[in-house]
Structure 1
Amino acid sequence: MNKIKLLSAVGTAVAIAVVAASCGDQTTRSTGWEFSRNMYDPIGYNPDQPNANFKDGKTAQIPPAGTTPVGFERFPYSASNEDYERAGVELVNPLVHTAENLEQGKALYQVYCAVCHGPEGHGDGSITKDRTLEAESRQLENFPPPPSYARSDSINSSRGGRMADLTDGKIYHTITYGLNMMGSHASQLSPEERWKVVMYVRELQKN
């Protein structure tokens, strides 16, 4: 029994000491003993930390010239009219013309393009028409309609030639860089999605 009492007393004393040590004396910011510190202290450098492994002492480095980030597809054409024309000659839609690709292109067009170009590509999207904000009875601003893609409308592009005659490359270039009041859609649509939209626009040109 004496041994049991002794062990109990020692255990109680150790427990009290541990609790007291963990609480601190209010004069230090030490948290006491730490368990598995490498589990929450990162081994790697943070981007804004100094780094002696590089000559300039910085962790964040500019990618080497000529490299392409993973998942990024480089577009070797500038936004100039010259490269627009070059893209129109050199680029052809790499996707196979299937019902599935066409349907996906239509869905993307309805989301990103129809609001301006109209559901059938006639340039009669919802923001080109009179609209009223009913909650405030306020007339909303109208935007000028873009030219129609339809062959039956025989509308010319602002860069020359009929809209119905725009090639795959010219349409893709315009989606990538934008034109006039149309902004770039490169951040909204991946290269594959842009080609699907191109496929659907080519169908609209037949109207």
Structure 2
Amino acid sequence: MKLSTTKGNMLVMNKLLIICTAFLTVAAASVISSCSNNRSTGLEFARNMYDPIAYNPDQANKNFKDGKTAQNPPAGTMPVGFDKNDVYPNTLEGYQAAGASLTNPLPVSVPTLEQGKTLYLNMCSQCHGLEGKGDGSIVKLGKFPAPPSYGTGNSSRGGSMKDLTDGKIYHTITHGVNLMGSHKSQLSPEQRWKIVMYVHELQKLQ
């Protein structure tokens, strides 16, 4: 009886010794490999994610005569969304200059007016109101002053709102004024001109 018990204890001790030895071996190997300068990066998946096929802008490129990837755009072209009218600074002088020089490049048509109305309702009516009377849903909360009516109000920069020109409205949408923020990043130049066209319709209604 004692002999079998002793053998059983020895077997348990041997198993523990083997497990401890294996653990220490793996741990030692991990420490040694982590100190090596030639560590493996492991298997790579989708190599093109690391080395893209396309050239980087600052990468040498034999496809061009000057050997550069980044090239100047062809003459007469402009980036998508570039606003050539964005040369009037956000100042009173810039506002007046835009009012005197800029005119809407879009021809008046029913589809364009409808698009301008949709843009106005989504982007402007919350303050200016559905009919441009300055009674938008935000104003009705009583926490913000009402903007002047397009038909009967006076501009804070002088003159009547009903006399605002294409350029003045466009400049205001682009840069903002008073509590109205800039909508340059939210609306493309074409979208701004469509709103300008619709605002003129609101000026006539009042």
What TM-score does the superposition give when structure 1 sets the normalisation length? Answer: 0.66
Higher helix share: 2
Which AA in structure 2 matches 1:196?
K
2:114 aligns to what?
103
Which AA in structure 1 matches 2:166?
D
Shift of 1:73: 2.1
1:203 aligns to what?
201
Which AA in structure 2 matches 1:110?
L
Once residues 178 and 200 of structure 1 are traced to their aligned partners in structure 2, the CA distance between those partners, rounded to angstroms, is 18
Q: Aligned in 2, Cα 1:36/1:104: closer, same or farther, shift over 3 Å?
A: closer
2:90 aligns to what?
79
Shift of 1:69: 5.8
Shift of 1:95: 0.4
Shift of 1:80: 1.1
Query: Where in structure 2 are the equivalents of 1:108-147 lying within 5 Å?
Result: 108-130=119-141, 142-147=143-148
Query: Where in structure 2 are the equivalents of 1:151-170 lying within 5 Å?
Result: 154-170=152-168
Shift of 1:37: 5.4
Once residues 35 and 203 of structure 1 are traced to their aligned partners in structure 2, the CA distance between those partners, rounded to angstroms, is 59
Which AA in structure 2 matches 1:193?
Q
Q: Aligned in 2, Cα 1:179/1:29: closer, same or farther, shift over 3 Å?
A: same
Q: What RMSD, in angstroms, separates the aligned Cα atoms of the two structures? A: 3.3
Structure 1 gap ranges (5+): 1-24, 54-58, 131-140
2:189 aligns to what?
191
What TM-score does the superposition give when structure 2 sets the normalisation length? Answer: 0.66
Identity of aligned residues (%): 59
Once residues 52 and 188 of structure 2 are traced to their aligned partners in structure 1, the CA distance between those partners, rounded to angstroms, is 34
Once residues 138 and 45 of structure 2 are traced to their aligned partners in structure 1, the CA distance between those partners, rounded to angstroms, is 61
Which AA in structure 1 matches 2:182?
S
Shift of 1:31: 3.6
